[in-house]
Amino acid sequence: MIKKTALILIFLLIASSAAFADEEILRHTITLDVLSTGISMFIMAYFYDYTVNNIVFLSALQYEYQLTYRLSAAARFNIKYIRYSGEMLSLSGEGHFRFYPSASAFYVSGMLGYAYFGLTDYGNYNFFVFGPRLGWRIDFGKNKPGGFIMEPSLGYTAAIGERRFVPDVSNLDYDSTFLIRNYLVGGFQVSLGMGWRF
């Protein structure tokens, strides 16, 4: 019964996209998370008043391929690096699957991926990451879709790792513990992507 239901849903998604088959589909979209980049620049400017040895860099680059008008697949690479009384680094590679109910504007997506986390004096750790995301693709094409786009989105990333991979952060202060558990590896994620659709 479950297999039949899944097959029916897949058929309906493909059929709903077929209604637009006579129009050209813009297949490629590349975006950079400018919100994280902006936050990095602000924090670096703030830290610069104290010492030039402190560095913060946060950003994400994403490539999306439009399968149909309503379905797409995307690959996303995230980097978060902080050097402040030690070094913290998080890298992740993610695969996203998007569904556009309104055919390329509002979307919902699911994500699966792998995250690496390194912390000075605590070692290197590995996590399986997954989570949902809601977003909106704003296409600034005047006469036809394509060109410059903006993508605000909100999501949640859950991080799972074997106990032997999870860092013991009990000796760190509250702010560092919160940062590790809820930002550098997982937690709520707010993004503002800017890029090009073609």
Closest CA relative to residue 72, chosen from 113, 24, 109: 109
Q: What confidence score (pLDDT) does residue 165 get? A: 44
* Annotated domain spans of the chain: 27-197
Token representation of residue 190: 């707010």
Separation of alpha carbons 112 and 42, rounded Å: 30
- CATH for 27-197 (1.10.357, 3.90.120, 2.40.160, 3.80.10): 2.40.160
pLDDT in tens, 59-95: 999 999 999 989 999 999 999 888 877 788 999 999 9
Average pLDDT over residues 104-121: 89
Work out the pLDDT band at 5, boundaries 50, 70, 90: low
Separation of alpha carbons 78 and 88, rounded Å: 14
> Does residue 178 or residue 79 have the better pLDDT?
79
Work out the pLDDT band at 113, boundaries 50, 70, 90: very high
pLDDT in tens, 131-172: 999 999 998 876 677 899 999 999 999 988 754 444 555 555
